[in-house]
Structure formats: structure tokens, C-alpha cells
Amino acid sequence: MAEPAGEALDALAVRLGQAAAPSGCLATVRQLTGLFREARHREKATEPLFQNLLQILTKAASEVDVACKNVNTPAHLEDWFLLLSECFRCLRNACVQCASNQNLMRSLGLIEMSVHLILLLQKLETNLESSLTAFRCSLQFLGNITTGNIDSQKRIWKLAFPSLFLTCLNHQDEKIVEYCCMILFTCLNPERTRVLREENNLNIPLAVLQACRRYPESEWVFLIVTNHLLKCPELVKAMYARLSNQERTMLLELALSEISDKNSAVCKEMDMFLASCFQEKCHSVLRLASATNNEDEEALVVIRLLDALCEMTSNDGQLECLQVCPDLLETAVRTLQLAHLSGKQATNVFTAAHSATGQEQISHPAVGFKSHLIRLIANLCYRNKANQDKVYELDGIPLILDNCSIDDNNPFISQWAIYAIHNLTEQNERNQELILQMERQGLADSSILEKTGLKVEKEDQKLILRSVRKISDL
């Protein structure tokens, strides 16, 4: 017959309290670690058991503290590191879906002792793998004690912010960075995220972005950026000012993944900020016309900004905000004019190509730039009379018609041009009449319009823009 859960734990707690040396405790703690994998054992854990584990951590901290003052790490610390790792595994397991254990450990001061030990382990200069393992396990424990427990999150934030987080985020061990990010993600909330924008605290989010560059597959780093940092426009602005162009590109790629999620909420302030960044630097992309500038980092940032704006304007809620963004539409049209002119004056990436010239050309960073500009213009004009008229005034309609042909340097440009013409002419007689006049004057070749799927017809003294497919089906 199996021993009842409570009695088994009590027996191990007594044995743990009687052991003097680390080696004598290790086997007992391992038994406890195994038992705490089951909920029925976690629910029977008692205060004396956790007190005994705290005593072990306290003794270990004393030994490590002494070692920090010595040049050489004493050999006997290997046993303490092994015991520390197992104690933290035991505590980690005991926290799983058990708020009572989390609260009991917090009241006993196990969080304070763990943070103290982490700082000691970080300070101790040793190459022992067992020390690194103890470091990792301590962070796993702190991650588990904060999960779903607001009081534990408050305690750890008070103790760990900012020094412990910075220490761990900048650590060379990937697992330590990952476990630190797990704790940080769990502790962050809107109020604490806003605190990060302060100049003295900005090193924390910047260290998170550095971790993202070092470990792009890290789920916890990604979640911190998308679920917390990008939700605070003031913080994004502060970070953006401190980032290199390479780091800005990475941040925008993360933002793009969040913007592309139609269920995520991106606030008006973020929309306007990204739009202003695009407007400020958009002409830098024109430098990519030179073969020697195809790795211009500032231009690469602008390309990512344009990608983000295209996605944002595809979302109804964000579209309304950006449609009234001062000068955004004009910037897009003017930039398209300059890029188109650059491609006409010399052969470069902005020149319409009707056959791929090789992998190098296909992979050029500016491939698709004109196509995306037309997409942005099309979105901004969607059922918006003021913007339709603005494109007319900027001579943007002939420009878009001139980009209706297939262009290997700009995939789907003809489709976006069709969409743009549709949005520009919808319930706008002046824009419709302009296209009709261009066709009459030979400036808009009807065969080109038909190739792009459009046909202009006059019906009852009104110009009607229809798709060729619909006309042929009638």
C-alpha cells in the first residue's frame, strides 16, 4: 500500500532537517523534486519543509559569499552547486498551479534569498557547469513563483528591477537570457512598461532587443516585444531614437508581425509615429538606385516602414486614422513620382523590367517598393473623397496609370494599380473624367487598361469604369 502523500513529505522533511552535509541532503531533495511533479503532493506541502529548503539556500549563500572573496573557487562548492540546483528544481515544481505554495514560499523569504543567490552566482568567477546550472534553475523557480501570482510579481519586480534583469539579459548563456525573459514577461503590465520609457530604465527594453537579435527564435523575447513594448508608443519612440538602423529594421519587422495580426490593437499614437518616421526619411530609398548603395541601412528602415503602413492601412480601424495623417498621402505620391522618374532616367531597380535579370536583381531590397507605394496610395484613397482629390491635384492618376504594366521589379504592381484606380474613381466624377480625357488624347492607351483588367465606357453622359471580365460575362 502506497504511503499517503502528507506522511511521505513529512518523513522527507524530517530527514532533510537532520542532514548536515550537502551530499546528505541531495538524495532527499531529489525525492521531493520527483514527488512535486504530482499535484496531490504539491497540495500537501507544509511550512517546515520549505523552511528546511530555505536553510539549505542560506548555508549555500554563505559558502558562495566566502568564495566570492577568494581568488580560487573552493572545490567543495561543487557539492553546494549541485544541491542548489536540486533545491531550486524542487521549489520550481512545488509552485506549479499551486498558489498556496507560492504564497507560503514568498512569506518565508524564499524570493529574497533566491535573488541574493543569483547575484552571488553572477559575481562568482567560475567555469563550473554546476554553477551555471544552479543559476538557470534559480531563474526557473522565480519564473514559476510569479506565474499567475500578482503578489509574487510585485515582490520580484521590487527586488529584481532593474539590476537583476539587466544582469541576466546581458548574460552570455542563452538559457539564462530566456528564463530571465520569462520572468520579465510575467511581471510586466501597462504601468511597469511605461516605467521603462524613463531614461534611467531604457537599458532594459534595449537589452531585450539585443537579446532578440542574438536569439531570434526566443519565444519569450518575442512576447515581451509584441505584448508589452509595442503596446506603449512613448516607449517605442524613446527606444527608436536610441537604436541603430539595423536595430530599427528588426523592431519594425517585429511590429509588422503584430500589425499583420488583425486581432491585435495598435493605437493611434503608434500609427502616427510610424507614419512620421516614413515621411522624414522616405527619400533615402532613392539612393538604392545606385548599385553601390543596395545595402543602405537607412533605406532598409524606410522599406520596412512602408511595409508597416501598407498593413496598417489594410485594417479599417487604423485606415481612418492614417487617411487624415498630415502629408502622408502627398509623401507617398511624391516618392512614387521620384522613384518612377529615377527609373526612366537610367536603368536601375526602379526601371520597369519585363524579365528577371538574375537572382541578384530579384533579391534587391528595393524590389516591390513602387508596388507598395501604390498599395499605400490605394488604401489611403479608399472611399475618401478628400484623398481622391488630392491625388488628382498632385498629378498622381497619370503616374499610377503609367505603372499598370507588368514589372518584374515590382510584383503585383499592375494589380495594385488597378485597385488604386478603382479607389480613385469610385464616386468621383472628376477623376473619372480625367481618365476619359487621357484616353481621348492618347495619353491613356485603352489596350493597356484592358490588359490590366479595366475598360472605360461612357454611359448616359457618365464615365463608367468596369472590369473586362464583367463586361465579357454580360
The torsion angles phi and psi of 254, rounded to 5 degrees, stand at: -65, -40
**266 against 212, higher pLDDT:** 212
- The rounded distance, in Å, linking the Cα atoms of 19 and 382 is 76
Q: Which residues of 397-407 are buried (b: 16+ CB within 10 A; e: fewer)?
A: bebbbebbebb
> Could you read off the pLDDT of 255-289 as tens digits, one per residue?
988 887 655 556 788 899 999 999 999 999 999 98
- The rounded distance, in Å, linking the Cα atoms of 48 and 354 is 78
Chain centroid, CA 148 distance in Å: 23
Q: How far is CA 86 from CA 8, 57, 59, in A?
A: 18, 11, 15
Q: Exposed, middle or buried: residue 408 (CB in 10 Å: 0-12, 13-18, 19+)? A: middle
- Judged against a pLDDT cut of 70, whether residue 446 lies above it is answered with no
What pLDDT, on a 0 to 100 scale, did the predictor assign at position 466? 63
What pLDDT, on a 0 to 100 scale, did the predictor assign at position 51? 94
Q: Report helix, strand and coil shares of the chain as percent, to nearest 5.
A: 70, 5, 25
Taking alpha carbons only, the member of 381, 295, 290, 385 closest to residue 332 is 381
What pLDDT, on a 0 to 100 scale, did the predictor assign at position 239? 96
The least confident of 89-98, 190-199, 315-324, 438-447 is: 438-447
- pLDDT level of residue 7 (50, 70, 90 thresholds): confident
What pLDDT, on a 0 to 100 scale, did the predictor assign at position 15? 77
Q: Which cell goes with 438?
A: 487621357
Q: Could you give the percent of the chain with pLDDT greater than 90?
A: 67
- Judged against a pLDDT cut of 80, whether residue 125 lies above it is answered with no
Amino acid, res. 261? D
The torsion defined by the Cα of 48, 50, 51 and 55, in degrees rounded to 10, comes to 140
The least confident of 142-156, 394-408, 440-454 is: 440-454
Question: Whole-prediction pTM value?
Answer: 0.85
Q: Which CATH code of 1.10.10, 1.25.10, 1.20.120, 1.10.12 fits the domain covering 265-355+362-429?
A: 1.25.10
What pLDDT, on a 0 to 100 scale, did the predictor assign at position 4? 57
For 315-343, the three-class secondary structure string (H helix, E strand, C coil) is: CHHHHHHHHCCCCHHHHHHHHHHHHHHHH
What pLDDT, on a 0 to 100 scale, did the predictor assign at position 452? 47
> Could you read off the pLDDT of 55-86 as tens digits, one per residue?
999 999 998 888 877 766 666 788 899 999 99
- The rounded distance, in Å, linking the Cα atoms of 402 and 134 is 66
CA-based angle 303:214:368, to the nearest 5? 15
- The rounded distance, in Å, linking the Cα atoms of 404 and 296 is 28
- Judged against a pLDDT cut of 70, whether residue 321 lies above it is answered with yes
Reduced to 3 states (helix: H, G, I; strand: E, B; else coil), residue 462 is strand
Reduced to 3 states (helix: H, G, I; strand: E, B; else coil), residue 155 is helix
Taking alpha carbons only, the member of 320, 308, 301 closest to residue 261 is 308
Mean pLDDT over the full length of the chain = 87
> Could you read off the pLDDT of 376-415 as tens digits, one per residue?
999 999 999 999 999 999 999 999 999 988 889 999 998 9
In this prediction, residues 149-154 reach a mean pLDDT of: 98
